[in-house]
Structure 1
Amino acid sequence: MIRAVCPGSFDPVTNGHLDVIERTAGLFDEIIVAVLVNEKKQSLFTVEERMEMLAEVTAHCPNVRVSSFKGLLVDFCQQNDVRAIVKGLRAVTDFDYELQMAQMNRRLSGVDTMFMSASPEYSFIASSLVKEVARGGGDVAHLLPGPVFRRLSERLGPRGGS
């Protein structure tokens, strides 16, 4: 079985994330969507909430499971027999950083990284931007899966918390 991981913060999961996960699910036997536990970062949703949302929006993909990790991604990969890391790229600026990470991960563990370009309709979406627009009262419904948008609206209020 060839297993890959799609890691991220997913705070919240966007349509761009879901697109990469679904496309990756078609390429590997099993995909682990791994939510990073970063206690130094102030998140809108808890790790458990993000995992619940991911499980809900990927329920139609039988070979996708959701987990979380703390520390180095390569350690998670080794513990879970993961052979590839799949990262979505929105722009060249993403590539600059992700290439360095991919080379370090390969050096540390032998785990390869595959880059998947974002679909054009999602290439501008970032969780941080979605939260900023939502907090300002902007409409982000078209950027998020339905269940995620509902939770975001509950968390920030009908006008994004303003």
Structure 2
Amino acid sequence: MIYTQALSKCAVFPVLLVLVLSSSVASSNQSPNNADSGYSSAPSTTSSPTIVSSPTNSPTASTTTLPQSHWSAIAQGDLTKVMSQYAESPTLQWVGGPLAGKYQGKDKIQPVWQKFIKAQAPLETAITNVKSTIPETVKALVSFSNAKTKIPVDYTLVYKSVSGNYQITQEIWKIVKP
């Protein structure tokens, strides 16, 4: 009642109040940005990442990004597609879990993905907190899950342009404790 009477006496105040309330509602609907977000007991849905920066000649420029394609191939258990995305002499650094180690070259990386895919695929993915550094590094929190397991990964992919096509030169798979 008091607010209604005060509002009717001032023509500018209602507009300011609406702006303040709109801003307040918008702020309260945003989730906090922290490292644990997206790692609940089960992912709600597979989501598309939000790219922070995406120059037209980078791995994140198209709607179907190279990182998404890579994570999807892993989740689907498509070893051929996973391996086709690597440059000639890539490095995979796996931090945490039974496959932990540093693997140099496609011949060392392929058996790692074979073991992982055999043990885990098919998987669903939930992708959050995607960030890219112009032009070649993409980082994200990627959660791979199926009925028996959930693997939250702090993921880094480093790309190199080879004849106009981006290929993975370095990959860091770091399992994050939920």
TM-score for the superposition, normalised by structure 1: 0.26
Greater helix proportion: 1
TM-score for the superposition, normalised by structure 2: 0.24
Greater strand proportion: 2
Rg larger for: 2
Question: Which structure exhibits the higher relative contact order, with contacts defined as CA atoms closer than 8 Å and separated by 6 or more residues?
Answer: 1
